Amino acid sequence: MNRPVFLSDYLKAKFGEKVHKVSFKLGLTCPNRDGRISYGGCIYCNGAELIPFSYREGMTPKEQIEKGIEVVRRKYKVNKFIAYLQDNTGTYGFEDYIMNSISDVLGMEGIVGISIGTRADCISDSFYKFFSEISKKTFLMVELGVQSINPRTLEIINRGHGVKIVEDAFKRLNQSEIHTVAHVIIGLMNDKEDDVKGLAEWISKNEIKGIKVHNIVVLRDTSLEKMYLNGGFVPPEKERLIELYKIFFNNIKSKVVIHRLTTDADKRFIVAPEYAQDKNSLLKDIKLAIGF
């Protein structure tokens, strides 16, 4: 790939100083959990693990952001923030409530943009319109779960949608000034070298502006944990995982911003593989292998 640009550097160049994300939640759920699509969720997903650190029951979105800013400002000495709606499926729920909450948060001092994570099959026409409007006034990032482009893998992980709908969603989002982000997982069962190569090419072809790359981890209280304990899933060895990362990055031909290189799952939730417990060492080895 071209010279890598990491999100922190990209934001610093864009806003002239360091910018930090501050998460909030709205109490949203996910159609892949509440029965609209399935009850099981994606096999690797543990909803509880997504709760922002500043969240306390009953807090409004603005209160969560205020609290988050207070902590982050003290810790990292930053004055500009991106509000991050990290809450299952960020566009799934009462639309007015979600949109009004986003608008409220965007009006807060120090907030220079917003990042929203969601599913491609949960963006209504009203949301596309809303996103297009707010992207004219603020920096908007919309992150969609892709994970793999192999239909069989998507079936095994119980993703609940195929890749075509994700492609269409990115196409539509890219018509506005939106920083589109693909969330992908390296090391999924069934994904071979060609799938990882294909995923990288797909990202370039679809002009996706950012990537969030996660290594597969088995989290507790997930279907994947059951599979792992039954012997139905063996996480890749570290060397194999790094090999797949190399294939992936060697085949990214477009200019993308790297949002993450490894999973951000809380260590306390990680059941396997053991090497995933030491995130810094894994990150160092991956960066070394892919030449970053």
The minimum distance between CB 20 and ligand SF4, in angstroms, equals 23
* CB nearer to ligand SF4: pick between 191 and 285: 191
* Measured distance CA(277)–CA(267) in Å, rounded: 6
Nearest of 235, 213, 99 to residue 148 by alpha carbon: 213
* CB nearer to ligand SF4: pick between 33 and 238: 33
* CB nearer to ligand SF4: pick between 135 and 158: 158
The minimum distance between CB 21 and ligand SF4, in angstroms, equals 18
Q: Could you list the residues that contact ligand SF4 (CB under 6 A)?
A: 30, 32-33, 41-42, 45, 88-89, 119, 145
The minimum distance between CB 163 and ligand SF4, in angstroms, equals 14
* CB nearer to ligand SF4: pick between 4 and 40: 40
The minimum distance between CB 119 and ligand SF4, in angstroms, equals 5
Cα dihedral angle (19, 201, 254, 1), rounded to 10 degrees? 90
* Measured distance CA(231)–CA(273) in Å, rounded: 13
Nearest of 289, 37, 75 to residue 154 by alpha carbon: 37
The minimum distance between CB 110 and ligand SF4, in angstroms, equals 28
* Measured distance CA(94)–CA(281) in Å, rounded: 42
Burial of 66 (0-12, 13-18, 19+ CB in 10 A): middle
C-beta atoms surrounding 106 within 10 Å: 16
* CB nearer to ligand SF4: pick between 145 and 235: 145
